[in-house]
Structure 1
Amino acid sequence: MKLILWISVFFFRSLVGSCDSGVVFTKHPSNQTVSQGNAARLGCAVLGVSEPEIIWMKDGEKLYSTDQMFLTLGETHWETFYSVKSVQQQDAGQYWCEVDFHGLTFSSEPAWITVEGVPHFVVEPQDVATLPNAPFNLTCAAVGPPEPVEVLWWLGGIQEGDPRPSPSVLQVQGVNSSVKFYCEAKNTRGISVSRTGSVHIKVLPAAPVELQVIRMNNNNVTLSWKPGFSGHAEISTCIIQLSRRAARRLDLPQQEVQVPPHLSVLWGLRSHSNYSVRVSCVNEVGASPFSHWLHLQTPESVPMTAPRNLTFSLSEAELSLSWAELTEEELQGRLLAYKMQWTLGGEPQEPLLFKENWAQLAGGGRFFNSSLQVSACTSVGCGPWSRPILVLPVSVQVPVQRSHMWVGLLLGLLVASVVGLLLTIFAQRREKETQFGSVFKPPGPESSVSFTAARSFNRTCSEPQESTLDSLGINDDLKNKLQDVLIPERLLTLGHMLGKGEFGSVREAFLKTEDSSVQKVAVKVLKSDVTSSGDIEQCLKEAAYMKDFHHPNVIQLIGVSLHRRPGQRLPIPMVILPFMKHGDLHTFLLLSRLGENPFDLSLQTLLRFMLDIARGMEYLSSRNIIHRDLAARNCMLDENMSVCVADFGLSKKIYSGDYYRQGSVSKLPVKWIALESLSDNVYTTQSDVWAFGVTMWEVMTRGQTPYPGVENSEIYEFLIKGERLKKPAQCRDDIYEIMHGCWSPVPKCRPSFKHLVDQLEALWLSICPAPVSKEPLLYVNLEGEEGELGGVRGEEEKVTAAGVSSWGVAWQHREGQEEEEEWLMLGSGAALAIGGDYRYIIGPACGPPEGEQGEELRGGRRRESLDALPEEVKDEEEDVVINV
C-alpha cells in the first residue's frame, strides 16, 4: 500500500508541476447537496508540509471556524476537515483549501455545497410610485433547490391569479390609492414570503423649507433651501418669486432654476433695498405651495446720482448754500453727510462736510470767484459730484429775465478775462523757472521767495516699490496659494488699534475694492521687529489654510497684504479678515455678567452659540484641520450675532492671556488643552473636542475662567487624578453630560463634532420646537461706531439679516446721545470711507470745528466698553478682550 501511495504522489507531482516545491494535494473536497438543517463535512489532504497551515476558503473569503480538525497521515502528510453542523441557505457556495509554503500559495480543487430547502429570493418586489390608474409591473424571482419554484402574488390583501413559474412579472392595470403587496415562493420543501412593498400615488410636493441667505456679495444674493416632501416623484425645477418693498410693492419676474443643487443666485438687486423672496418646487404632477416669505435687505452702496439744483447766496458776511435732497433709491444707503469740494484760483481747498442739504458759511468774501461741487456720502463712500457752480456777488449775477444775447456776451467776456489772467500768470512763471522748479510769488517791498520743486528725488535710494510674494523668501507652493488673494497695500487704510498681544496687533481698516467702494475689515499685523522669512512663512501658512474656508460659522480670509518698510529687507505681512462688529464671544459673555448694565442671556441663546461653534468645528474637522486653540476668546460674533470660529494657529501669535510657558516650550492654552496633548504634545481632532467641552463650560458660566483656583502649572496633575470642571450653576444635566463626554481620558471615546452637532440640535429643538431662527438678543456694541455703550437704539434701528429677526436693544437711554450719534463724522470709519483730511466739520448752524471731539471718538468708545468691566476682571481679561 505504501508503494502505491508514493507512486500516486509522484504521479500528482508530475501533473501539477510542483516537484521543486514538494507540496501536493492528495485529497480534494467533493461536491455535496445537503438538506437545510443537516450537517455537511468537507475534507482536504496535503503532502510536503511539516506543520499544517491549511486554510479553508469560501467564495474567495477566508473561513474562521473552531470545527476545523487536523489528522496526521505521515511526517509531512496532513488531512483536515471543515464541518457545518446545521446547514443554512447562506452556507451554500464554493469551497476549497489553501496552503502557503515558502511564499507560494497552493490551492485544492473547488467543491460546491448545495443547500436544499424552502426557496430563497434573488429578486424581491420593490416600492413603486405611479400616477393614479396608470399601469405598472411588479417583479419577483426565487430559486431552490429543489426546483421547480412557483410564485403567487398578493395585492392589497387579495390573491392575484394562480401560481406561476419563477421568475414572475405581475402586470397591474392601475390603482388610485396606496396599497401593499408581496409575493410567495413555493417548492417541495415549503413556502417563503418576500418583503412587503408599497404602491405610492404621486402627488404634489410639499413647500420647501429652511429658505435662507448663505452669501451676500455687493448686489448679488445667494439663496439656499431644502425641498419638502417630494410627493413620491422627482423634483426637477424650483420657481423663485421676488418682490421689492418700497413705497409700493413691486413684483419682479419669477425665475425657474434646475435642481439639485437647491440654491440660486439673485443678480443685480438694488443696493440698500428691502426684498421678499419665496420658493416653490415642481415635480411631474405639478408645483408645490410656496414657502414662507423670506425678507432681506441688500448692503449699502455709494449714491448713484449727484445732488441737483445747487444754488447759493453770497454776501460779505456769509455764503448760503442749498441743494435738493436725494431720494432713498438714489442714496442706496444711509446718508452720512454731504461733502463739498471747492477750488479758489485753480487751487483745491480743504473739503467740508454738511449734515443737511443746506449750509451757512461765515466769511462769504473768501469764497468769491470760487468753484463749488457737492456729493452725497454713505458709509461705503461718496457718489458723483454735482455740476460746478461759480460763486459771484449779486451785482455780477445776470437776471434770468435778461435777453439770452446779453447772457452769452457777459459769459464770453468772463471766460476771456479768466483766460487772459491765466496766460499772464503762466508767462510770469515761465520767466522765473529754474533748473528744478519755479518761483511763484513776485518780489515786493518785503518779498519772500517760495519755491516749488518740479521733481523731487534722492540720489542714494530708489522710490519704494509695491511688495510682492517673491521678496519674502517663502516656498513656491505657499506663493502659488496666496497669489490670488494678495491685495496691494495702497488699497488698505489702517485705522485705530483694536488690540495687541505678544507677537502682533489687530487693527481696524478700510479696504478699497475694484468698484471704488470701501469695505470695513480687520487686519492682523505681525510685529514690526520681524527679521526672518520663517516667521513670515509661519504667519502666511495660517492665511493659506483660511483661504479655502467657506462656512457661515468659520471666519473666511479676505486677502493678504504686505507692508513695505523703508530700509528693511522684508515687508510685514498683514492678514485681512472680515470685521466682526460685535467682537469676541468671551468679551460678550463677560459684559452680559459683569458689564455696567448686565443683561440676561437665555438658555436658547447660549445653546445657539454652542451649536454655531460645533458646526464650524465639524466643517474644519471634515477638512482635516486641527484648530489647537479653540476657546471663547477665539470665537467671533458677526453683525447677525452668529458665532464664527477664528484664529487658526495664528491666534497663538496674537493673544497670550491664557497661555502658560512650560519650560522652553512655547506658550500653551493649558486650561483648554486635552490630557494627551499636555503629556505628549500630540494634537488631533479629539483634542479639539476636549477644548470644545471647555468652551461650552465658558458659555454656560458666561465667561468665567476655567478651573478657578487651579494654577496653570497644576492643571496636568489636577486632570490626571480624574478631576474635571464642575457643573456650572443653573446648568441642565443633559448639557453638562455633553460637555463632560468631551473630557474622556481616552480620545477615541470622545464624541465627534458631527455627533455633537446632532446632540445640540436635538437639545435646541427640544427647548424651541419651532423652526430654527434666531431669537431676539441683546445688542452689545463693542466697537463704538453706532454710539456709546449704554445708549439705546430704537426698534426701527434693529439690525436685520437675511430673513432673520434682528437683535433687540435693552440698554438704558442717555440724555442727548441721539444728537451726538447723528453727528458722528471724524472718529468712526465714516470719515475714512468718505475720504479726505478734514479739519473742519460744519454744522447746520455753522458750529465750531469738532476735531477734538473726533479724537475722543477714535479711542474713547472702545475704552468705554472695557471700562464697563469691574477692576477685578480687567487684569484677568486684558489680553482676551480684542474685537476682530
Structure 2
Amino acid sequence: MTVSQGLPVRLNCTVEGLDSPDIHWMKDGAVIETLDEVFIQLDDRHWVSFLSLKSVERSDAGHYWCQTYDGRETEMSQQVWLTVEGVPFFTVEPKDLAVPPNASFQLFCEAVGPPEPVTIFWWREHTKVGGPVPSPSILNVTGVTQSTEFSCEARNIKGLAFSRPATIFIQALPAAPFNVTVTKLSSSNASVAWMPGADGRALIQSCTVQEELMVEGTRANLTSWDPQKDLIARVCASNAIGYGPWSRSLVVSSRDHAGRQGPPHSRTSWVPVVLGVLTALVTAAALALILLRKRRKETRFGQAFDSVVAGGEPAIHFRAARSFNRERPERIEATLDSLGISDELKDRLEDVLIPEQQFTLGRMLGKGEFGSVREAQLKQEDGSFVKVAVKMLKADIIASSDIEEFLKEAACMKEFDHPHVAKLVGVSLRSRAKGRLPIPMVILPFMKHGDLHAFLLASRVGENPFNLPLQTLIRFMVDIACGMEYLSSRNFIHRDLAARNCMLAEDMTVCVADFGLSRKIYSGDYYRQGCASKLPVKWLALESLADNLYTVYSDVWAFGVTMWEIMTRGQTPYAGIENAEIYNYLIGGNRLKQPPECTEDVYELMYQCWSADPKQRPSFTCLRMELETILGHLSVLSTSQDPLYINIGRAQEPAEGCSGELPGGDQPSGGAGDGSGMRAAEGTPSDYRYILSPGGLAEPSGQAEQQPESPVNEAQRLLQQGLLPHSSC
C-alpha cells in the first residue's frame, strides 16, 4: 500500500479454525502496542482483527502482518508493505559554522522521499543561490564578512519543505582573560591561574603571560622570581585570528610575601577532614547493614541459640518461626485483609465477597495492558449456574495501589441499582502460590453483545455490515441518558462516558458501565483531578482540559460526544487531530461536525452539550425528555409510512425516578452490567480489544427454513426493521 502522509489507513486480517485466538499485529518484527485495534468474532471459530492508523507518518512505513499462536506453533498472515509518501524529509540539514572573515567553507543538505526524485534549492538569507540540484547537495561559499543565514529547500511532486536555518558566524579575537590569581607562592616561584574570556568563536590555541612565556590551558608557573621584588603578572589569549587584549595586571608586593607564614596551599583545609568523617560514617553504616542481613538470614526459620548457660557453652534449642509443607507450594489465604487495601474499602466490599470456589473461569473475552475479561459460570445458592463476566488484573503488575484503584470501581458499582447502569454481582479473590498477593476479580453480568462501540463499528465496517435504523440509534441515546440521569441524581460524576463504556444486553438495552474514573461528590458540585494522569481527552469538556475540573456538566459534554459516536456508527471523534491539539481546536470555537445521516434536531441537542459555559448545557433529565420526544416523532412517522412497523412490547410501569414509557409504547425492562469493558488500574482508559459475540451475519436462505433463527440474527432482523422491543427508564 502507498499512502500519503496524514491520511488514515485500516488493515485487517482474519483467522479461522480457532476457538479463541490471541491475534497480535506486528510491524517489522515487533508487536504493535496501540489503542486502535478492534477484535471481532464473526461466527464460530471465525475472527477478524482491524488495525487503524488514523494519521500515518513516515515512521509508520514498514512491513505489517498479524500472527497468532494455537498452542503448538505460530501462524503468520501475509505481509503488507506500507509506503508513506509525503513532502521531502531532511536526513542532513546545514549546520552552524564559525569561520574567519572571507574564508571559504561548505554546507551540506540531503532530503529524501518517497516519492523521488528530490531536488534542492539553496537560500542565502532571502535570496536563492543557484538553480535546482539533485539531493544530496553541497554548497561552496567563497566567504562572508558578517553573520549570515543559509538554508535549503527540498521539493518533490508532493510539495516542498525547508530545512533549519544555519547561521555562519564570523570569528573574532578572543576577549581578555579575567580573575588572574596566584594559587601557589614560595621563595623562588609562583603559580598563576586565570579564567579565559570569550573565545571569539574559535578555539583558544594558547595563552601568553607577560615576559613572553607561552603556555596552554589556564595555569602557569613563574620561576626565577626574586621574592624581594613585587610580582606583576598579566595574561592574553590567542586563537586562529590572532592575539587578544591583555588582562588586568595582578600585583603581589614583596611585603605581602614576607608576611606569609607559609604558602597558601600549605594552610589547613577543612575539606579533607569532612571527607574523612563522611567516609567513616558510610563504612560503619555498610558494616551494620551486612551484619543485620546476616542476622536475619540466621533467624529466618526460627531462633537457634538460647542464652549462655553457667558452664560457658551455648544451649542449642531450635524454635521454628513458621511451619512449611514441602509437598506443595504454600498459598496465602485469599482474604480482603491480605490485599493491603484501606479499611474503608474493605468494609464496603465485605458483604459482596464471593468465594473463589463458587465460579469456574472460561474463555477470554478481552484483554488489555492492565488485565483481562473472562467468561465464567457462577454457582447459585440453588445449585444452578449463571453466565457472568470476570474482570481481573494482570498477575505480573499487581501492587496494593493497583488493587485499591481496581476495587474502588467495584465499590462504586455496589451502590447502583438501575436498569441502565451496570450492576455489580460481586467481588472475589484468586489465591496464588509462593506467597504472592491474591488476584482481585470483579464479577459482572455477562453482556451478550459486548460494548456499544464495537457493535456500532461492526455494523459499519464488519465483514458483513448491517443497517441500524435511526430509531434504534436514538433508543441507545435514551438508555444512556436514563442511566446518566440516575447517576447524576446520586451525585456521581462518571468522567469517562463514551460508547466503549456502554454495554449491550441480549435485548439490546444499553447500560452505562466502566466506573474506573467515577467519583462521588460529597460536598459542592465538582471534583478536581489532583494529579496528571491519562484521561480520555477527546471526550473531555473545555473546563476539564483547562483546569482538571469535573462536574455533571462535563459528563453532559461527554454525552454529546457519545451521541456523535452513535450517529456515526463508531467513528473516532476529531479524526486527524492529535490529543495535544484538542484544547486549542475547541477554544477556537470548533466542534464536531454534523454527521451525514444525523437530523437537525439531534445535532442541535448534541451541540448544546458542547457549550463553552457549563451552566448553559442541558441536564440529563432535559436530554432524556428531548430524545424521547424525537424518538416518539420517529416512531409515529415510521408507523404511518411502513405498515409492517408494529410494537410487540407489553406496557409496564416505569422505573422509579424517570418519566415513564417512551412515546410509541416502548416498554421498560431489566438488564444491567458490564460484560467486556476493561479499565486500567490507574483509572485510565486501557487498550482492551473490543469483542462482539457471534452474530452480525445473515443466514443463507436455505438454512433459514431448515433451522430456527439464532437469537443474535433475530435481533439483527428486528433492528433492521425497527421492530425490536426496547426499554425506557
Larger radius of gyration: 1
Give your verdict on TM over 0.5.
Answer: no
TM-score (norm 2): 0.43
